[in-house]
Structures are given as structure tokens and as C-alpha cells.
Chain A
Amino acid sequence: MTDDPRDAAGSPPLPPARSSVEPAGPPTTDGDQRPSGERRQEGRRASERRPTTIRRAIRDELADEPTDEYYSETHPQEHRAVPVIEVDHVYLGFDRPILEDVSLEARKGETICLVGESGTGKSTMLKLILRLLVPDRGNVCIHGEDITDLTFEEALEARQHMGMVFQSAALFDSMSVFENVAYPLREHTTLDDDAIEERVREKLAFVDLDPDQVMSQLPSQLSGGMRKRVGIARGMANNPEIMLYDEPTSGLDPLSTGTITRLIMKLQRELDVTSVVVSHDIRSVFRMATRVAVLNERRIVFFGTPEEMAASDDKYLRDFLGGS
């Protein structure tokens, strides 16, 4: 069982803009043999280009990805300006402070990527949005409604409108793929068995899996990439408006990484889902993010578009991108 062969081309070199913040260091591994000074100059020129040009350059690397024109047609500006997730001046700590004065906003249809070093509170942010954790101070609002004061039962209800994809996929290993994807449907809908099967097939096909082949298999029989895809299918089974991903590409080979990245973009493109993605994979982040939030030492030190991030002169950002 292998992943989608189309993804052989799905791991493009980093966008030109990225190299603008690359410090002088070891040569890149993308086959570019030119002297590093020449590459830096080209990168500098790229960073001086208009952001939309860079954005287009990033997108053009994927033949089947939509252009900015597509986005402007399908996602009118006023539609995209609606905030879906708002994290407002949040403080959280346990034995030690985890997050301090963190604010974040995701608008309808946006893909926000959360990046940062390990242990900076990225996954904690997802848990706050899911209301698995309650902030010590500050608010988390979903569709304008503050979820910090919800009871446990109300929080369970609120989570039904969100889909979560875990780092380890977290499929129920005692259930088949079909039962895993059908789980939220059986729990929270009144769909009959036929409708559930139809929905499961639809979601599995969406994540490029052959339903007839995988439905009866157990998670332990699947490859890592397939497990992640089943995790995405389960997360979107209830047609949630919000999808959260905790390091969806970690531990995957480049082909599977490309497949998962492409799927996240497809969800945004076709279903207008608002997504928050925690990732260490800068290449994927640049491909899928509408905005990037960088967490460092318990705070968000940057929140902007990938183009702005690539063009930033901030030393930490430059080091971060250069080191990744």
C-alpha cells in the first residue's frame, strides 16, 4: 500500500522568498549549485517583489492549485473577513507559564499555521480552541461566542463543530477504518446506516483513499500517511466548519507530506473550512498558510502572511527559517 503517486511532484523546493532570510550556511539540498551569495541576491530580489507575486510563485509550484483570482471569486472579501476563531490576550500556566498574552484570529476560510520551537505551546493553543483547556486569563471565542465559560457538556457540544487531526492520527485501534470515520456520525447524527456508509465513502474518497480497499481494514494495517488521511476523513466526517491539525506531516516521508498538505489546501479550497495547523514543516506552511503565527517564549512574536514572514528582517524569524 503506497501513498498517492501524484505527490511525487508534491514536494516543491522552498519558495524563492524563503531564501531571502536564509543565513549564510550550508548549501541547500534542492540541487542548486550556485554560490550562496548569488542565491542570497536572488532571494533579496524576490523579497522585494510584491507579496502577491511571491504568493503566486508559491502557488504556481502546484499545477492543480487555484490562483489568487480563484480565491477572490470563491471567497469574497467580506465573506473572508468574518472571524471564526478569536484568541484574545490569553494567559495559561500550570507549574510554569505556558502562554502569555497570546492573541490570534482566524477568519472564515483561512488556514492559520502555528509554528515555533518545540515546547512553545503550539499544541496547547489547539487545546484552548477545542476547550480541552481553559485559559487562566483572556478569552477564546468561536463564531463570536466565548467558549471559556462553557460547562463540560456544552464544550462537548461545541467540539462537534470542529474536527481535529492528531499528530499520531489517534485512530481507535479496536475499530475498522469504516467505524472510525463513521464514529462521529453515529454519535451525533440520526443518519441511517446507508447514509452513514455513503458519507464515509465520500470522505475517504476525498482524502484519496479507495473506500472498498480500506474500509474494512484496521488502523494497524495502514501506513502512517494513510492513517493520517483516515484521521482527516474522520475529522471532517461531520462537515465541521473548523479543522485543527496537530503536526499533520510529522514523521511522514516527503510524498505523504505532500499528500497531507495538498489535502489541507483542498479542504480550504473546496469546503471553505477554517483551519489551524500546528507544523514544524516550513515548506508545507508556506504552501498552505494564509497567515502564519510564530510562537516563541510563550508569546506570538509574528502573525502575518507567509510573504511578510519571508520578507521580515526580524533576527529570530530569519534564524528560524534558516534553521528549518
Chain B
Amino acid sequence: MPALTERLADASKQKLRTVQEYFSLAGKALRFAFVRPFYGQDLVQQMDEIGVKSLGIVLLTGFFTGMVLALQSSVQMAQFGATMYIGRLVTGSMIRELGPVLAGLMVAGRVGSGIAAQLGSMRVTEQIDALNTLGTDPIKKLVTPRVLAALIMLPVLTVINDVVGIIGGNLISTLMVGVPSGYYWRTVWEQIASGGFTLRFIPNDFIQGLVKPFVFGGIISITACYFGLNTTGGTEGVGESTTRTVVLSSILILVVDYFLTQILLSVLTP
């Protein structure tokens, strides 16, 4: 029995240490953003890697999600004769929830796994040690540019995701449901305005839709860097780090999304 409690205590300590190291890495990565030397070229390269190269999957995801949202809701709303409000439903869903979450999940799968695999390979082939011995802090050189790039690019990808989703919804509502395009776009604006404004001209929906991807960007990049830098066990370890990154960042995105929504709804009440 004491052995069991001891093991549980050890396991808990290990988990707590992991959490501490995770937040310590996040803190260092953000602090180094303001400390010389700045790796501007690496930042641009990572913005390209995380943002530009993810554009394809984000466009596809957003467009088809918007279309299917319009299609499904048209069936339900037809029962109440409310199909003219499809624009409001698609817009609200995309901007507040589906845009940020889907973009986050897509980027976690594509970019998170890529970062974990890259840093994991660097770890097992002693390239991280080489950086250290060459007098470079690996966190500053490798983690900070990736975290900053994700923080910048995920909101951008989300906005694009939202826009193509709403366009997809417009396509279906006009061609298949028979809602005039002009009316659709009017309901889109009505939805945006109904959430209220911060500082009189910033729609609350936009704030909600941009804060979330910003947080998700941090979650994805720090999780990927954490598992990548702590890779052990050769190529098998790299695979394990990649899987852990995708699983944990996807779960964190969904869990954090709920709590973030609670907080934002209470703060941004119209």
C-alpha cells in the first residue's frame, strides 16, 4: 500500500514538474521576444511555414464548413420558416466558434506536428546541443520565432477561415435555399452588430473571434516546442513527441475554448 501511495506521489510530482517546465518554456519564449539578438529572418520563415503554407487547408476547411453549416441549418430553419436568417447563423458560428477552433485544430495537425518532429530530430541528432555549444540559447533561436509566428499567423488564418466560410454559406443559401445574396450579406452584418461593440466601433464578435486563435496559437506552438525539445529515444521518440503534440494541443484547444468563451461572454456582454 505505501508503495502505491509513493508511486502516486511520484507520478503527481512528475506531472507537476512537467506543467512547471511547460509554463517556464512559455515564459522564456515570450521574454526572449524582447531580448537581443532578434532572429527576424527566422520569424519571417516561420510565419511563412505556419501561416502561408497552412492557407490551403484552412481555405478548404472554412469553405466546406460554411457550406455544410448553411445546408444543415436550412433544413432545420425551414421548419420554422426562418431560412432568411441563415446568414446570421453561419456568421455567428463561424466567427465565434468554428473559425477559431477549426483553424486551431488544422494548424495543430499540420504545424504542431511539424514543429515537434523538427525540434525532436534536432534533439536526437545533437543539433540542439550544438546550438548550446555554439553559444546560442536554443529557446531564443528556435522557440521564440515559432511562438511569435503562431501568435501572429493563427488570427490571420482564422479571419481568412471566417471569410471563406461565410462565402461558402452565401453560395449554398443563394443557390440551394433561395435566399437573395444581398439579403444574406445584410443578415451577416446584423449578426456582427448584434453582439455589441467595444470602444464604439470594434464588434465584440471580432474580439471573441481574434482572442481565441491568439491563445490557440500559443497553445499549439508551445506544446509542440515543449515535446520537441524534450524528445528522447531516437526516431521512435520523435514519432511519440509528434503524436503527443497533436493530441494534447487538440484537447487543450477544445477545453480552453470553453473556458475562454465563458470569460469572453461575461466580459463582452452587449
Residues of chain A whose beta carbon lies under 8 Å from any beta carbon of chain B: 130, 132, 152-153, 156-157, 159-160, 162, 164, 166-168, 170-173, 183-184, 187-188, 234
Contact = CB atoms under 8 A, between A and B. Distances in A.
Contact of A166 (B37, B126, B136): B126
Interface stretch (B127-135, B160-168, B250-258): B127-135
B125 interface: yes
Contacts of B129: 132, 166, 170
A170 to B, nearest CB: 4
Given A159-B133, A170-B125, A172-B122, 12 more contacts: A130-B133, A159-B135, A160-B134, A160-B135, A164-B134, A170-B130, A171-B130, A172-B127, A173-B121, A184-B134, A184-B135, A187-B136
Contact of B135 (A156, A170, A171, A173): A156
Contacts of A164: 130, 133-134
B137 interface: yes
Nearest to A188: B135
Interface in B89-134: 121-122, 125-127, 129-130, 132-134
Contacts of B134: 159-160, 164, 183-184, 187, 234
A172 B42 CA distance: 14
A169 to B, nearest CB: 8
Counting contact residues on chain B (CB < 8 A from A), the size range is 10 to 19
A132 B135 contact: no
A125 B102 CA distance: 49
A173 B160 CA distance: 33
13 contacts: A130-B133, A153-B137, A156-B137, A157-B135, A159-B133, A160-B134, A160-B135, A164-B130, A164-B133, A166-B130, A173-B125, A173-B127, A183-B134
A156 B137 CA distance: 7
Contact of B127 (A152, A162, A170): A170
A156 B136 contact: yes
A167 to B, nearest CB: 7
Nearest to B135: A160
A160 B137 CA distance: 12
B125 A162 contact: no
Given A132-B132, A162-B133, A183-B134, A167 B126 contact: yes
B46 to A, nearest CB: 12
Interface string B124-163: 0111011011111100000000000000000000000000
Contacts of B126: 166-168, 170
Contacts of A167: 126
Contacts of B125: 168, 170, 173
The 5 closest A-B pairs by CB, nearest first: A170-B126, A170-B130, A164-B133, A160-B135, A166-B126
B42 to A, nearest CB: 11
A188 B137 CA distance: 12
B133 A172 contact: no
A173 B118 CA distance: 10
A159 B130 CA distance: 11
Chain B CB within 10 Å — which of A152, A153, A157, A168 has the most? A168
Contacts of A162: 133
Contacts of A184: 134-135
Contact of B132 (A153, A159, A183, A188): A159
Interface in B202-260: none
B144 to A, nearest CB: 15
A172 B130 contact: yes
Contacts of B127: 170-173
Contacts of A170: 125-127, 129-130
A90 to B, nearest CB: 19
Contacts of B130: 164, 166, 170-172
Contacts of A132: 129, 132-133
Contacts of B133: 130, 132, 159, 162, 164
A168 B121 CA distance: 13
B25 to A, nearest CB: 14
A188 B129 CA distance: 17
Contacts of B136: 156, 187
B91 to A, nearest CB: 41
A234 B131 CA distance: 11
Contacts of A187: 37, 134-136
A138 to B, nearest CB: 21
Nearest to B37: A187
